[in-house]
Structure 1
Amino acid sequence: MTTQPSRASGAPDGDEAAKRAVRDPDPAVRRAAAESADLSPELLFFLAADTAAEVRRQVAGNRATPGQADMLLAEDSEEEVRGTLLDKAVGRIPANGTDPQGPLEKLTLQVLTVLARDPSPQIRRLLAESIRALEHAPQAVVSVLAGDTETAVAVPVLRHSPQLTDTDLLAAVAGEAEPARIAAVAQRPTLSSKVADAIVRTDDIEAVALLLDNESAQIREETLDHILAKAPSRPSWHRPLVYRPDLSGQAVRRLARFVAMSLVEVLQARKSLDPMVVREVAEVFCARFERDGVALADTDEPPVGRRPVDGGARAEALAREGALTEEEIDDAIFAGDRSFVIAALAALTGIPRSTVERILEAQSARGVVSLAWKAGLGIRLAMKVQMQIAQIPPKAMVNARDGTQFPLTEKEMEWQLEFFGTGDGD
């Protein structure tokens, strides 16, 4: 049971007029009394249990109301009363970040803790919005809100609160996290590489785009390589990738192969690029312009009246001309042109397209490596086909032996192909 506050020295509760006012049958009179900063703690405590919500609301907003009364009002039946109390409690959060020492500070923390678990999502959302960017908001309260079942409650603090730790953020994006929560975390300032890795692992296209657009986010080069491997087929990543401040020369080379031509021009203009990389990007630009016959717009959609070139048909045409080189296949992998790669593998191995596609869809690392070997490709391209075309997870990939050799014997690779019904490739 909550203890009634003791009588304060000099408090006006001895005033008969005040005592009559708090017991007046007219709610308007009691409400006026509840507004007074001079009313004694005892009488404010008494009014905290008033039958009229309008009176209790005035008590909730009164800064002279004792902490014990605020605790009662934190569980008031009326949402409006709790909302008024919330505004007052947030205003009492210490600005210096020190732990609550006095009775009032400790009771304020207790009130905020109760409101963070309020049955009304609206109250919890209001609290989240109110403390989302406060540097010294109580961490325990922020953590409760960050894990709230209502996305509208969790998102404001996930996006802005400086009190959340990496552990909190990793928990927020783990498992079957809602896209809105992942997106909120992706936009946080100075995001750590550990959290950035977790966001990329979710494979949420929008969240990764927001992460790339977040210049203060720390993204490891290995993680960026993983993003680049999937980027060709994800246009929303192209622009933020091109504008990332920390791109390596290798990343720039890869981007130049598949982003819109206007973005290739942006890459060429980067002042931090090595002159050799600038020349290579210029060569890619010219080669793409010559191949496509036009500089494509940001959407990479062909102009009206110009039919897009089918990747499979182009691969077959190059094969007939004896011009189907590893470089062409490498370009197609970077561009995410699955149709070209499938047709190229079929043409170079003599294996039907349908069988090639079946091997890739089976995500058999050994089967894919054997297919690349049969096509006469090097182990470097075989690795890329595994990762970017067959979409085999890194842990399931078959890696090169000694960094340069195929990991299987010829007999083993022939057996792998026979397993998929290729025979001798006829």
Structure 2
Amino acid sequence: MAVGPSLIPGLDDIVKNGDPRRRAEAARKISELFLAGAAQFRSQHVDLFDGILTGLVPYTEIAARVALAERLSALGNAPPALVNQLAREDEISVAGPLLRRSPAVVEPTLIEVARRKGQGHLLAMSERPTLPVGVTDVIVRRGDREVVRRVAGNAGAQFSQTGYSALIKRACDDGVLTLTVGRRDDLGAPQLKELLAGSAEIVRRRLFEAAKPGKKAAINQAMVEIIGAPKASEIRRDFAPAQRAILSLHHAGELDEAALLNFAKAHKYEECVAALSALSAARIATIDRLLMGERHDPVLILGRATGLEWATVRALIVLRLGPGRVPSATDIERARLNFERLAASTAQRVLSFWQTRQTA
């Protein structure tokens, strides 16, 4: 199959000595010829096109390379050297389609790109139908939050023990990543236990609620191994000392938002509950139940109804998660927006309802 001479006279001279314009025109014509007949070409024909195009395509404009990469990404018999050459480009609009789905991009190329390129390249790779452990190890180590969440949610991605350990470590301060990793079918029991041990109680509950029946049993078993079977002494809190401390502050005229904020920052849960009880005229048991619920909404309502500032409400949200843990940036921003939109009159009506219920 004499592709070169029959298509463009003097092709060898153009490849070796031609100016960029002539090379770009030759690349366009030969690319169109390949794409038109790709389905019928044998491997030796693909190799011939490959050898020619790898020397010509770099001289084409970005728009032409983008269009070519998009079309090549869908071909199972795309010229391999050309595809891997384009996949290494800095321009993500060229490399992206090939990194995202081309079967012709080989693992060494993926690893090289993962080590050297930016987050756009990593994000594109994280969407591939399958990803070997050699690639995911690099992605988890170098990727930003969006990249790591995306690759963790890719059912076709495989992770080594090192990769899973890195994922779990990053999940400690990322509730969304915890939920994503926890839902993976290939997550082993030891890894699930490690994931749950580093997560907040509210994230554990969300993971349990979303889990399949088999995974729920595994979560329960992991939690028993982490904290043991629940005991009455562990789930009942003694609020009496905190009540006395809050009463003393009240008598001294020092029970205000600043005191509540200090308690929250110090993770003094009982004192926060007792202070909120005094400020809202709701019972301690009611406040305790609201703070330990599934959602942040009761905290927002209590804060707005009692006239608290966002900084104090945020500290109370963090208090719910326990020492050393913080909500994700997405969660806290959503809570802030909901707090700003919440009318004081609405919050006070809800608080009145809670007070009425506790009396009943």
- Secondary structure (helix, strand or coil) at the match of 1:92 reads helix
- Residues in 1 aligned to 2:218 and 2:115: alpha-carbon distance in whole angstroms: 39
- Residues in 1 aligned to 2:195 and 2:298: alpha-carbon distance in whole angstroms: 18
Which residue number in structure 2 is paired with residue 213 of structure 1? 153
- Residues in 2 aligned to 1:250 and 1:302: alpha-carbon distance in whole angstroms: 34
Which residue number in structure 2 is paired with residue 124 of structure 1? 65
Matched, 1:190 2:130: yes
Matched, 1:136 2:77: yes
Give the aligned residue type for 1:305.
Answer: L
- Residues in 2 aligned to 1:107 and 1:223: alpha-carbon distance in whole angstroms: 39
Q: Is the 8 A contact 1:191 1:218 kept in 2?
A: yes
Give the aligned residue type for 2:295.
Answer: L
Whose helix proportion is higher, 1 or 2?
2
TM score, norm. by length of structure 1: 0.49
In the TM superposition, what is the alpha-carbon distance from 1:85 to its structure 2 partner?
Answer: 5.0
Alpha-carbon displacement from aligned partner over 1:67-120 (angstroms, at most 9, x marks no partner): 3349469965597886465333222336565223xxxx6663344324431241
Residues 1:249 and 1:242: Cα distance change in structure 2 (over 3 Å): same
Note the 1:260-339 alignment, pairs <5 A. 261-267=205-211, 269-271=213-215, 273-274=217-218, 277=221, 280=224, 292-296=291-295, 302-306=299-303, 307-309=313-315, 332-333=323-324, 335=325
Which of 102, 105, 112 is the matching residue for 2:53?
112
Q: Is the 8 A contact 1:193 1:219 kept in 2?
A: yes
- Residues in 2 aligned to 1:313 and 1:266: alpha-carbon distance in whole angstroms: 24
Which residue number in structure 2 is paired with residue 234 of structure 1? 174
- Secondary structure (helix, strand or coil) at the match of 2:38 reads coil
Which residue number in structure 2 is paired with residue 172 of structure 1? 113
Note the 1:49-60 alignment, pairs <5 A. none
Matched, 1:147 2:88: yes
Which residue number in structure 1 is paired with residue 248 of structure 2? none
- Secondary structure (helix, strand or coil) at the match of 1:113 reads helix
Which residue number in structure 1 is paired with residue 99 of structure 2? 158
In the TM superposition, what is the alpha-carbon distance from 1:233 to its structure 2 partner?
Answer: 1.9
- Residues in 2 aligned to 1:189 and 1:301: alpha-carbon distance in whole angstroms: 42
Taking only the aligned residue pairs, the percentage that are identical comes to 22
Structure 2 residues not aligned, in runs of 5+: 236-287, 304-312, 328-360
Q: Is the 8 A contact 2:291 2:298 kept in 1?
A: no
Which residue number in structure 2 is paired with residue 92 of structure 1? 37
- Residues in 2 aligned to 1:254 and 1:246: alpha-carbon distance in whole angstroms: 14
Alpha-carbon displacement from aligned partner over 1:229-250 (angstroms, at most 9, x marks no partner): 2213224423322321122234
Which residue number in structure 2 is paired with residue 247 of structure 1? 187
Q: Is the 8 A contact 1:79 1:123 kept in 2?
A: no
Q: Is the 8 A contact 1:242 1:266 kept in 2?
A: no
- Residues in 1 aligned to 2:81 and 2:41: alpha-carbon distance in whole angstroms: 17
- Secondary structure (helix, strand or coil) at the match of 1:305 reads helix
Give the aligned residue type for 1:186.
Answer: S
Which residue number in structure 2 is paired with residue 369 of structure 1? none
- Residues in 2 aligned to 1:158 and 1:274: alpha-carbon distance in whole angstroms: 35
Q: Is the 8 A contact 2:74 2:101 kept in 1?
A: yes
Which residue number in structure 2 is paired with residue 68 of structure 1? 8
Q: Is the 8 A contact 1:172 1:181 kept in 2?
A: yes
In the TM superposition, what is the alpha-carbon distance from 1:174 to its structure 2 partner?
Answer: 0.9
Alpha-carbon displacement from aligned partner over 1:191-213 (angstroms, at most 9, x marks no partner): 11111111111042211111101
Residues 1:238 and 1:277: Cα distance change in structure 2 (over 3 Å): same
TM score, norm. by length of structure 2: 0.57
Matched, 1:202 2:142: yes
Structure 1 residues not aligned, in runs of 5+: 6-65, 315-327, 338-426
Which residue number in structure 2 is paired with residue 321 of structure 1? none
The Cα RMSD (Å) is 4.1
- Secondary structure (helix, strand or coil) at the match of 1:173 reads helix
Q: Which has the higher contact order (CA 8 A, sep 6+)?
A: 2
- Secondary structure (helix, strand or coil) at the match of 2:131 reads coil
- Secondary structure (helix, strand or coil) at the match of 1:135 reads coil
Q: Is the 8 A contact 2:50 2:80 kept in 1?
A: no
- Residues in 2 aligned to 1:305 and 1:291: alpha-carbon distance in whole angstroms: 9
In the TM superposition, what is the alpha-carbon distance from 1:125 to its structure 2 partner?
Answer: 1.0
- Residues in 2 aligned to 1:270 and 1:237: alpha-carbon distance in whole angstroms: 21
In the TM superposition, what is the alpha-carbon distance from 1:336 to its structure 2 partner?
Answer: 5.4
Residues 1:225 and 1:138: Cα distance change in structure 2 (over 3 Å): same
